[in-house]
Amino acid sequence: MLFNSFEFLVFLPVVFLLYWFVFKPVRWQNLFIVVASYVFYGWWNWRFLGLIALASTTAYVCGLLLGRYRGRRAVSKWICGVNVAVSLGILGTYKYYNFFATNFSAVLEAFGFRPDWVTLELVLPVGISFYTFQALAYAIDVYRGKIEPSRNVIDFFAFISFFPQLVAGPIERASNLLPQFLKKRVFDYPLAVDGLRQMLWGLFKKMVVADSCAMTVDYVFSNYETMGGINLIAGAVLFSFQIYGDFSGYSDIAIGTAKLFGIRLMQNFNFPYFSRSISEFWRRWHISLTAWFRDYVYIPLGGSRGGRWKTVRNTIIVFLVSGFWHGADWTFISWGAFNAMLFVPLLLAGTSRKYKGTTVADGSVLPSLKECGLMLVTFALVVLGRVLYRAETIPAAATIFRKMFTDFHLTWAPVEWMSFVYIAVMIVIEWFHRTSFHGFALAPSGVMRHRALRWLLYYCLAMCILFSAGRNETFIYFQF
């Protein structure tokens, strides 16, 4: 079920009313959340509900066993390993089997062998990379002694399958989300209103900004061989705003929806296009995934504890794995390598932590010329990386890069010019709320503090969303 669909428009109020007015005891609310979440996911394809149930059951049982055998390190390792094997087995089979089978077959053919290699006609389950990572993190945290194992199977299933963040995150930690399912929840009117505002902002970013860019982006990248360099630059820029509006929009809708049910999810995007360096960008973009790789890949590899070159090695590994997480294709691995290439010089220069905990133009209405320059350079580097992300193949990406830097002419392409207006509106509103949790928060210094202006923006954005409803584009990150 899509957030931008008529089905969800009916589903959400029904679930909301039943949740608060019928299933009042917390144990019944949690059971209802599980049922509603499985309906939400099964609306797309009910056959894949078994995968969520399998991942949830394995993590739950392993958590209980880890609690029982705490102190017996060898046994605990085996138990945790079972959960890792099941979670990665699910992910590997559906997402990566054909990639490895095809590439292994190509290697054998290079040596003169022609294997009758079998690829599988598998449909990639929506959100598989998100809920498997959530289940993985839970068992690892129990193994490390950071959290206690969940004893209630319904509460745990609600944690894994909570429908707002089930298919595209944020990837929540058990330490944050699971305790919220254990305590009684009382309807919080200000929180719910803030959730509705965040949902409205997310729908605007997705249905208006991202979807209006989609037509031009699809045409330019599908016809890259005949496009001029200026077209390709414009296409890459628009794609950068498309994927930001699409994914951060989804996160805003998910977080806002959770607030309607008294649940607080973590911030997943912190206005990344206002970053002054690549390292700051990655602290602000898809925060839940970045934190996941830091805690479960980077630190176990040694983090920054083994000297500078081991730190560089670990950083490169994390970026390559992150690229592979995004897609089973060499373009995504190359995208990860490209970002590692941008990040490592900052690491070697000792400036990778610069700007951490600070906000651009803090205490000022406008950025300085230096800050403008740094943001533009950072954005330009991000745009270049997006070419690898969006191109169908490595040769296609190479052709696009060549044209972007050598072929400075413009060819005809269909353009929805209002995209640039929508992008400008998004940038202005988010600029004035860059220190807030989301772009429509009631910040003391934000434009939303004025009641009349606030309601005018509500009306204008709602009209834009209504007129854009016919596009009904799917979310880009559903493929991951």
Q: How far apart (Å, rounded) are the C-alpha atoms in residues 32 and 414?
A: 47
Cα atoms found within 13 Å of the Cα of residue 409, Cβ hemisphere only: 5
137's tokens: 């993190």
Choose, from 326, 409, 438, 450, the residue flagged as catalytic: 326
Contact by Cβ (8 Å): 34, 157 = yes
The 8-class DSSP code of residue 12 comes to H
The one-character DSSP state at 95 is I
**Alpha helices, DSSP H, located in 204-277:** 211-222, 229-260
Q: Which two tokens stand for residue 62?
A: 């392993």
Instruction: Report CA 83 to chain centroid distance, whole Å.
Output: 23
Residue 163 is given by DSSP the state G
Told to judge if 326 belongs to the known catalytic residues of this protein, a careful annotator would answer yes
DSSP 424: H
CA pair distance 228, 286, nearest whole angstrom: 32
Question: Is the Cβ–Cβ distance between 440 and 259 less than 8 Å?
Answer: no
Residues 6+ away with beta carbon under 8 Å from 397: 331, 334, 387, 388, 391
- Tokens (6 digits) for 192: 């719910």
The DSSP call for residue 448 is: G
SS3 115: coil
Catalytic residue IDs: 326
